[in-house]
Structure 1
Amino acid sequence: MTSLSSLPTYPQPQRLLEALAGPLPGRAGQARMAPQPYRGSMDDRWLAIPQNHREAAVLLLLYPGANALTTLALIRRPDYDGPHSGQIALPGGRREGDEALARTALRETHEELGVDPGALDLLGALSPLYVRASNHLVYPFVANATARPDFVPCEREVAQVIETPLARLLDPRYRGSEVVRFEPMGRVRVPYFALPGTRIWGATGMILGEFLTVLEQAHAAA
């Protein structure tokens, strides 16, 4: 486990760019925060991606926050009649037409948080992740801002902006798990990141699991 005291206050963008360009942890990184079978097991039927799936993209937006600590922007979705009601998520959304998926992530972040894509440096992409609840294959991208963005959240799509230091996500003291019923797998143990007043789990947690693995590997190689 990476020592928090040994982490730089802000990861060098060039180091992250190089790490994201190399072999990615993929499913092994995502599995750090994936639901673990409590009874039974996950098989290929659960992992298979249907042909009628849709595509979406999300953005891991990094910037220097308080005390120059690397910070990640998360959002809380509004309550609505849908599979992601009230959940903690990364900014992003569905691909429009044949637009580049990186463009999807940047466009959706601008629409949801008011962040100018021109103020961001795109560093690379993580492994795609299929989200069965909404039948989307989600492509995560990582971008860097040299200063904290002036967030202007869209009230229709964002109930709250949650600014989270990466150091907290890397710290095992801020992680936990609980057993829940999760169909079609039955009872599973679900890991989560514990934030003040909320938790990060599910697809967002799995994407962060791979990203933190990349971050730890880049730091170990420095």
Structure 2
Amino acid sequence: MDFNVFKNKIVQFKTIELGGLEAQFKLAPKMRLKFDADKIIANNPRKAAVLALFYPNRKNETCFLLTQRASYKGAHSAQISFPGGKLDKTDRDLENTALRETFEEVGVAEASIEIIRELTDVYIPPSNFLATPFLGFTNERPNFILNYEVEQTIEVLLRDLLNETNISSVNMNTSYMDNIEVPCFKLEDYIVWGATAMMLSEIKELLK
């Protein structure tokens, strides 16, 4: 999608009804389906926020940013995700959390980002986070500056997200589960699954 077309649709994106859990659960691992609202509340999850950042590439094609997290001793080591992190006591709100974390992780200044809207919260059982995604854009391709939390940036064309053939499933072993089949997106030769895939599923429904 041409970036000018994307920008012309932003007013529409702001008002379309979100797909919510129905859209997210199309790409949810089976273990996630066990957690209803009451169980999530009972777990008293920590709050977090992430940013789905859209921008034009050098051909003016609409892209969005994913990151591969650095390897560490934790549940989400080396996984593909949006920039983001936990709510800090100094943050004004969760939108500020998403913008602050994006600047800290990949160097994109808050002043250059326009937030389009807040999306549906996603519960992440392994780390007990309730993550709020935000949809935003910049008018130019950012010059990414990575911190120690990020191994690399991944630039994905919006048209690849909207392409139904990029939805699949894979058998995985992780730090907290073995030999499990999970739905996923296959984007830029990367497997995107779990909470990030759930968020992308709602974004895909919104933008298509």
Aligned match of 1:109 in 102, 112, 121?
A: 102
Aligned sequence identity (%)? 35
Shift of 1:106: 0.3
SS of residue matched to 1:23: coil
SS of residue matched to 2:2: coil
Question: TM-score, normalized by length of structure 2?
Answer: 0.88
Following the alignment from structure 1 to structure 2, what is the Cα–Cα distance between the partners of residues 191 and 204?
A: 11
Following the alignment from structure 2 to structure 1, what is the Cα–Cα distance between the partners of residues 156 and 168?
A: 17
Aligned match of 1:120 in 106, 113, 117?
A: 113
Q: Deviations over 1:41-86 (max 9, x none)?
A: 9445597213421000000000001421110111000110001000
Following the alignment from structure 1 to structure 2, what is the Cα–Cα distance between the partners of residues 187 and 45?
A: 24
Shift of 1:22: 4.0
Q: Deviations over 1:153-212 (max 9, x none)?
A: 11x110001011111111122221134579999975411111344211100000000000
Partner of 1:75: 67
Q: 2:49 touches 2:97 (CA, 8 Å); kept in 1?
A: yes
Partner of 2:134: 141
Q: 1:58 touches 1:139 (CA, 8 Å); kept in 2?
A: yes
Shift of 1:126: 0.7
Shift of 1:88: 0.3
RMSD of equivalent CA atoms: 2.6
Q: Deviations over 1:71-124 (max 9, x none)?
A: 011100011000100000000000012631100000000000110110111111
Q: 2:64 touches 2:158 (CA, 8 Å); kept in 1?
A: yes
Following the alignment from structure 1 to structure 2, what is the Cα–Cα distance between the partners of residues 43 and 109?
A: 31
Following the alignment from structure 1 to structure 2, what is the Cα–Cα distance between the partners of residues 180 and 127?
A: 26
Shift of 1:29: 1.1
Q: 1:75 touches 1:161 (CA, 8 Å); kept in 2?
A: yes
Q: 2:24 touches 2:199 (CA, 8 Å); kept in 1?
A: yes
Q: Deviations over 1:2-61 (max 9, x none)?
A: xxxxxx412433533443344211001102211248xxx944559721342100000000
SS of residue matched to 2:186: strand
Q: 1:131 touches 1:138 (CA, 8 Å); kept in 2?
A: yes
Partner of 1:9: 2
Range with bigger deviation, 201-210 or 184-193:
184-193
Question: TM-score, normalized by length of structure 1?
Answer: 0.83
Partner of 2:29: 35
